[in-house]
Amino acid sequence: MSDSLVDVWNQLCDRLRDAGQILSDPRAPRDASTQAYGLNYLLNLLNSGLELTAMSVDPEHPEIGRPQDATKKWGLDCPDALYARTTIDGAGTYLLRGGAGTAHYVGIAVSAGSLGTAGVRGLGNLAKPGDLAAADDGSFAVVFSPDHHDGNWIETPPEIVHVSIRQFLYDWDNETASVLSIERLDRPTAGMTFTAEEMTRRVDALGSFMTSSATLWTDFVAGLRERCLNAFAPPNLQSSTYGGTPDNVYGSGYFELEPDEAVIVEFTPPPCHYWNLQIGSYWFESLDFIYRMGSLNGFQARLDDDGKFIGVIAHHDPGVWNWLDTAGNRIVPATYRWQLPRVAREEVPTPTARVVPFVSLARELPPSTPTITPAGRADQLDRRRRGALRRYGR
């Protein structure tokens, strides 16, 4: 390795050290549990950063990468989603294939910017009939090109560099995601090689991702605390601000719970294709959604007879069906998603929340609150585990 590339590596190590400073940020809790979650978060961020900036980033040899999953958590990643992304040359022509699948939603978007948050456009999805044509078995093909193509085609101006694919599973027991592949069509591709210039660019991009993402989400959570302590904020109508799918209307909340406290959450879901509610750690990453009740979607949740969701965020199982388990976290940001709402975005609801003593839940909850037995909870958790691990092939 030349001296200049030794310097590139050393600079990356310096930037990783800089990213780790979020652990000692004056706003960050210093208890052992939150700090342990923070260290795990940094490892997740590094794992994701490698995928996003160094591994699946060659437009001449496109590959489908997995930027977020059970070991790549950040930005309060959605437990229902199978995320995929690849890098393309906006001036080239590419063919994306999706195999047979039964995902509740498949969304495809092209974008610019280092994190894919700039210029999100050209969305196609299987949730809106006619928007993305698919075979009876759910398989599909999409062309990305600056030139018109018949069938599923998304135009790509020169600045476009990313294709993002989200597959949302509602019924974890039965729905399956499509296996994806992509190839470049407009010119032959030679074997892969590495140059000092290209590797320098990738390593620099990884360092930038680590430092910028670490501070981005720390600042985001601090802003949530200021705006909506122990409450939910109204939905953000600019869905793509942080790289989300334009089909979703997102909103967030922030809660600080003592060991003997719980949060009662209520809302009536709007008519929409999909919705979910989840909580995360102080570091704005999803909590364990494989072995714990870290999230609920509209298929998994149970509504009361009036169509209202009544749930509880708590450190211990309250015996209600719609429980979100804090996994011991005292600080729990939250996110709700309304996908393809059939009402105006300005009319979607904001969940209500109130903090109550855990021992008072029986008095505070309406009689219509759906409940669950210990045996039912064990079955619920077992099904979550099997469904999530099947989705990730683990």
Domain of 140, CATH number, reads 2.60.120
Whether residues 31 and 151 share a domain: the answer is yes
Own/partner contacts of 65-72, CB < 8 Å, gap of 24 or more, are: 69/392, 70/289, 70/290, 70/388, 70/392, 70/394, 71/44, 71/47, 72/44, 72/47, 72/48
Is 223 contained in some domain?
no
Q: Report, as an integer, the average pLDDT of 50-66.
A: 94
Res 1: pLDDT:
47
Percentage, residues of the chain above pLDDT 70:
93
> 117 with 156, same domain?
yes
- Domain carrying residue 168: 3-199
What does DSSP assign to residue 78? -
The verdict on residue 222 lying in a domain is no
Query: Of the residues 199, 219, 242, which one is the last residue of a structural domain?
Result: 199
- Asked whether residue 91 falls in the same domain as residue 181, the answer is yes
Band of the pLDDT at 369, cuts 50, 70, 90?
Answer: very high
Residue 215 lies in a domain: no
Q: What is the dihedral of CA 199, 205, 210, 216, to 10 degrees?
A: 180
Q: Is the pLDDT of residue 42 over 60?
A: yes
Residue 246 falls within a domain, yes or no? yes
Residues 248 and 365 in one domain: yes
To the nearest whole number, what is the mean pLDDT of the chain? 93
User: Residue 354 maps to which CATH number?
Assistant: 2.60.120.600
Inside any domain, residue 219: no
Nearest to 275 by CA among 170, 384, 162: 170
- Would you say residue 212 lies in a domain? no
User: How many residues are recorded in the chain?
Assistant: 394
DSSP state of 355: E
124 compared with 353, residue with greater pLDDT: 353
pTM: 0.93
39 has pLDDT over 50: yes
Total number of domains constituting the chain = 2
Q: What percent of the chain has pLDDT above 90?
A: 85
Beta strands in the chain (DSSP E): 81-87, 94-98, 105-112, 118-125, 140-145, 153-155, 162-168, 180-184, 231-232, 248-256, 261-267, 274-279, 295-297, 309-314, 323-325, 331-339, 352-357
Are the C-beta atoms of residues 330 and 258 closer than 8 Å to each other?
A: yes
The tens digit of pLDDT for each residue in 234-248 reads 998 765 556 678 889
Q: Give the model confidence (pLDDT) of 70-114 as tens digits.
A: 999 999 999 999 999 999 999 999 999 999 999 999 999 888 876
Residue 251 maps to a domain: yes
pLDDT of residue 189: 82
- 279 and 328 share one domain: yes
Mean pLDDT, range 336-340, rounded to an integer: 96
**Whether the Cβ atoms of residue 105 and residue 115 lie closer than 8 Å to each other:** no
127 and 60 within one domain: yes
Name the DSSP class of 151: S
Q: What is the pLDDT of residues 103-126, one digit of tens each?
A: 999 999 888 876 555 555 555 666
pLDDT grade for 16, boundaries at 50, 70 and 90: very high
167 and 233 belong to one structural domain: no
pLDDT for res 221: 96
Report DSSP letters for 265-289, one per residue. Answer: EEE-PPS-SEEEEEEB-TTS-B---
Same domain, 333 and 373: yes
Q: Are residues 301 and 192 in the same domain?
A: no
Three-state DSSP state, 48: helix
359 and 292 within one domain: yes
Residue 302 lies in a domain: yes
